[in-house]
Chains A and B, each alone.
Chain A
């Protein structure tokens, strides 16, 4: 515990290029950007595959591949082949690992909507796109949010590991602390990363509460 006091009590850790605020901002920037790019790819694709039923095999394969691929290896390989300097080479693996959870959960969410509900929506005269937007997405939202949460947590963790190949962010404290045998630095960084992951988890709990319709989440009983 003394280590933590050393780390968090040191004013040098609170300002400048190696200060906690800046490192946290960097971490959020990489993680947020990767998550955004992954969402742009995976959400429309998952909605389309779930709605049309075409390409379901792709979803299963991507989920299995993402679980088996070692993040550290992928990061190191892509950055080695593409070169350091810009952040694009680091973003590629981050995005690649964030896409499958969003894709799988969006697809499963849409596909799992009660067939009667879907038929009723068509029976009321809604068209394909309207059925998707007004019925399927709201009902599938808890699973879609679960996919986004999994992806966000994955991205926060992978961005930490990415400090090894020269990315900034909170992982720097861990990697630098290990490299220079300054253990308080590494532990401080680890605690910060863990807190960030918990904050992300909490944020999605709040989002779930506000975005999911009370009728879907079961908070309001339908008579």
Chain B
């Protein structure tokens, strides 16, 4: 036992197809809830940005849901959605993602400068066109920052579902623990972190592509600034 290496690469090689299958399952179970949550958070966030009385209670409810431990929620859902089903794991993840995304949408819309909004009104934009053409694009960086947090957390949270029989890569943790064999556990952790990092990177690239002006503005500002350090404190 003492001679046993920490990672048995041959085990990973032999089980690679199964590991990939678990990783794919993990991704589906993590990303579908985030997508659903984004679709739900957009209208709720819009309503919250418009009406203060709507925002406070929504955030209150969402914060309470967010504080509930995932394992406890999985257990309570089992009679409704079944043991070891994807749904049991995905339903709570929708709410966790919404808890991050609703404030992100509200903050994003709040980040639209008032003079920009007024310019759009003065140019004759209808409220809907103003929303789609001006306000939402400006809100993109803040919303995407929330989306990155939600996506990364979701990918890693799925693995807790292994305790109720369906946890994507989390199965490797249970498997490794039951056989007292570290290789699957290490492989699982590394893959979860890799998938989360990859998803995060894709979202950063998406932001570059969706908001080309932010890169242009940084470049313009760098050129306009005569000397470094002059505008200290303003940053």
Residues of A within 8 A of B (CB): 64-65, 67-74, 76-77, 80-81, 115, 153, 156-157, 160-161, 164-165, 171, 174-175, 177-178, 183, 186-187, 189-191, 193-194, 197-198, 200-201
5 further A-B contacts with Cβ under 8 Å, apart from A70-B170, A175-B163, A197-B69, are A73-B192, A174-B72, A190-B76, A198-B64, A200-B67
The answer to whether the Cβ of B95 comes within 8 Å of any Cβ in the partner chain is no
Question: CA–CA, A165 to B164, complex, Å?
Answer: 15
Chain B facing A: main interface SS: helix
Q: Which of chain B's residues 69-91 have a Cβ closer than 8 Å to chain A? A: 69-73, 75-76, 78-79
Q: Which of chain B's residues 32-69 have a Cβ closer than 8 Å to chain A? A: 63-64, 67-69
Give the contacting residue for B163; candidates A68, A72, A77; CB below 8 A: A72
CB pair A165 B75 closer than 8 Å = no
Q: Which of chain B's residues 123-160 have a Cβ closer than 8 Å to chain A? A: 149, 152-153, 155-157, 159-160
Interface centre among A74, A76, A186, A187 (most CB of B within 10 A): A76
Chain A residues contacting B173 (CB-CB under 8 Å) are: 70, 72-73, 76-77
The answer to whether the Cβ of B188 comes within 8 Å of any Cβ in the partner chain is yes
CB pair B163 A161 closer than 8 Å = yes
CB pair B177 A194 closer than 8 Å = no
Subset of 28 A-B contacts with CB under 8 Å: A64-B200, A67-B149, A67-B152, A67-B153, A67-B156, A67-B196, A68-B193, A72-B173, A73-B170, A73-B173, A73-B185, A73-B192, A157-B70, A157-B71, A161-B160, A161-B163, A164-B177, A165-B177, A174-B72, A174-B163, A175-B163, A177-B75, A178-B75, A183-B78, A189-B75, A193-B69, A193-B71, A193-B72
In this complex, what residue of B is CB-closest to A79? B177
A103 to nearest B CB, angstroms? Answer: 16
Question: CA–CA, A22 to B204, complex, Å?
Answer: 47
Q: Which of chain B's residues 176-206 have a Cβ closer than 8 Å to chain A? A: 176-177, 180, 182, 185-186, 188-189, 192-193, 196-197, 200
Nearest 10 A/B pairs, CB to CB = A157-B69, A68-B196, A190-B72, A190-B75, A70-B159, A73-B189, A193-B72, A76-B177, A70-B156, A73-B173
Do A64 and B152 form a contact, CB below 8 Å, given A77-B185, A80-B180, A115-B233?
Answer: yes
